[in-house]
Amino acid sequence: MADINLKINGMDCKAPAGSTILQAAKYNGIDIPTLCYLKDINEIGACRICVVEVKGARSLVASCVYPINEGMEVWTNSPKVLKSRKKTLQLILSDHNKSCLSCVRSGNCELQKLCKQYGVEDENLYAGVMNESEIDGTAAHMFRDNSKCILCRRCVAVCEKCQGVAVIGANERGFKTNIGSAFEVGLAETSCVCCGQCIAVCPTGALYEKDYTDDLIAALNDPEKHVFVQTAPAVRAGLGEMFGYPIGTNVEGKMAAALRRMGFDKVFDTNFSADLTIMEEGTEFIQRVQNGGVLPMITSCSPGWIKFCEHYYPDMIPNLSTCKSPQQMFGATLKTYYAEKMGLDPKSIVSVSVMPCTAKKFEIGRPDQSAAGVPDVDISITTRELGRMIQKYGIDFCNLPDEGFDDPLGEGSGAAVIFGATGGVMEAALRTVVWKLTGEKNDSPIVFNEVRGTEGIKEATYDVAGIKVNIAVASGLANARKVLDMVKSGEKQYHFIEIMACPGGCVNGGGQPQVSAAIRNFEDIRALRAKALYSIDEANTIRFSHENESIKKVYAEFFGEPGSHKAHEILHTSYVPRVINE
């Protein structure tokens, strides 16, 4: 594609044809501020923060949607532009709850940052009537506080375009405009899937997860309780961002060290139960193929995806693997096998998970998730909640020594850690399925590169022991909808499908550290975080789930074999069709 010549702030510049002014400026090392813009998702020019001056134009133009042309002259920081941006910020603040000190986003708020950058104070220049709103806390995973909403519509766009759910939108008009569900019903009364992608892209504190750290602190200080924690693969690739590390830094060792200093009795790894999931799921897949079971079989690790299926594709519930998610498998194993082994009453155990996912908060309350007669997992917190707890405890995270996880539920294979990236569950499963069907040991397991990468839909066909296995991988529920519709129409015939609710997989989960649009629009944070997980896999001496010695031990001592009656009672679950407005 040919380059376009233009001038930006008097400097000769080039940018690819078809670029917007915003993109052209970025290509040439100039940042233009935005609030509503999300690349390919929300390109609406609504917030007017990105306005620039263009020679010949009658007024300032929104750089995020204005295309460049040959010989164009642009000024991104002229007095007129700076004055306009400041006034826009003042007008936004005129109807904004400015309780910044107590806001969960204070210090990491895109609006707050811009106000500081442009010298906007709480001047009340446009004081007057303000909209009244109530906080919606009906959903299991989050709060909506419209007093802090700036009507950027990022949440609306990601819910509709990335997730294909579209349970929120603009209600009313003019000054009364607000973001909410149809007929102003609570989010819990909609078919929201609890993925938290709306939280991930919100620039302010209008959307935030339900924080259970106070409950956790109380448990940690209860001498009658045994408090055990598990951490998901993707958390180690995201947590460091809250402490100044570059995106995609693996902080596994410091994370384990911090959790011990917080007072957990044992620090375990969800990678253990990810390997357990592969043993059960791989066995289930083989049994379906060999015994004429329902195909395609679809993975069940992502609770946002499961809820989506129950709402929108209830006729495909039989296609879902009956395996619990790794989070729930871990909790079930903790309160049965480990409790029995250590002589503990399951009722005295507080099972805690640290997840990149807000839907896990919904999942822990699902029916058929209580293998020991008590909930498999009692408290699920996000990566962000853990980061805030570490800060509250005054732990010097960056200077902690690297420490490992506790045995026996702290051992995981390289196959387990890549669960956090889209395609990772499929690759891990195929590594073990190939071994189960052929009996051959493969010292170089990386033969499934087709399922890697951040593309929304990936397909491949593999010859496994003489059987042609058609697989598909989808991340982002709008992509899941496309795949399922192709299956239902007969256009595609798959045997095995992996679906993750969040685009890019768990590394981009709704509970991961929030990244400003200024970075999201020009960096693939999903690929950066996933790279950390694949690096851990490559460095691991055990790269197959079935070679995890702790997994072999738990089957030998407790479950018997993958797919056994006891394993089904403890490690498998059931699903329910949900009405669309539940």
Q: Could you give the number of structural domains in the chain?
A: 3
pLDDT of 445 reads 52
Residue 580 forms part of a structural domain: no
Neighbouring CB atoms inside 10 A of 373's CB total: 9
How far, in whole angstroms, is CA 531 from its chain's centroid? 16
Q: How many CA atoms lie within 13 A of 579 on its CB side?
A: 4
Least Cα distance to 326 among 356, 296, 302 occurs for: 302
Domain boundary among 164, 194, 209: 209
pLDDT of 465 reads 82
* Same domain assignment for residues 190 and 302: no
Residues with Cβ within 8 Å of residue 105, at least 6 apart in sequence: 112, 204, 205, 208, 514
Residues with Cβ within 8 Å of residue 457, at least 6 apart in sequence: 472, 473, 474, 479, 482, 483
CATH number assigned to the domain comprising residue 113:
3.30.70.20
Residue 88 forms part of a structural domain: no
* Same domain assignment for residues 130 and 232: no
* Same domain assignment for residues 195 and 229: no
CATH number assigned to the domain comprising residue 25:
3.10.20.740
pLDDT of 499 reads 98
- The residue range of the domain holding 396 is 214-571
Gap between the Cα atoms of 59 and 338, Å rounded:
68
pTM for the model:
0.95
DSSP for 253-313, please give it. Answer: HHHHHHHHHTT-SEEEEHHHHHHHHHHHHHHHHHHHHHHT--SSEE----HHHHHHHHHH-
* Same domain assignment for residues 233 and 364: yes
Neighbouring CB atoms inside 10 A of 311's CB total: 20
Residue 579 forms part of a structural domain: no
Residue 515 forms part of a structural domain: yes
* Same domain assignment for residues 199 and 218: no
Tens digit of pLDDT at every position of the chain (582 positions): 689 999 999 999 999 999 999 999 999 999 999 999 999 999 999 999 999 999 999 999 999 999 999 999 999 999 999 999 999 999 999 999 999 999 999 999 999 999 999 999 876 778 888 999 999 999 999 999 999 999 999 999 999 999 999 999 999 999 999 999 999 999 999 999 999 999 999 999 999 999 999 999 999 999 999 999 999 999 999 999 999 999 999 999 999 999 999 999 999 999 999 999 999 999 999 999 999 999 999 999 999 999 999 999 999 999 999 999 999 999 999 999 999 999 999 999 999 999 999 999 999 999 999 999 999 999 999 999 999 999 999 999 999 999 999 999 999 999 999 999 999 999 999 999 988 887 766 655 556 889 999 999 999 999 888 889 999 999 999 999 999 999 999 999 999 999 999 999 999 999 999 999 999 999 999 999 999 999 999 999 999 999 999 999 999 999 999 999 999 999 999 999 997 654
Least Cα distance to 85 among 125, 56, 119 occurs for: 119
* Same domain assignment for residues 73 and 119: no
Runs of H (alpha helix) within 401-467 = 414-417, 424-438
Instruction: Give phi and psi for 309, each to the nearest 5.
Output: -65, -40
Instruction: Give phi and psi for 387, each to the nearest 5.
Output: -60, -45
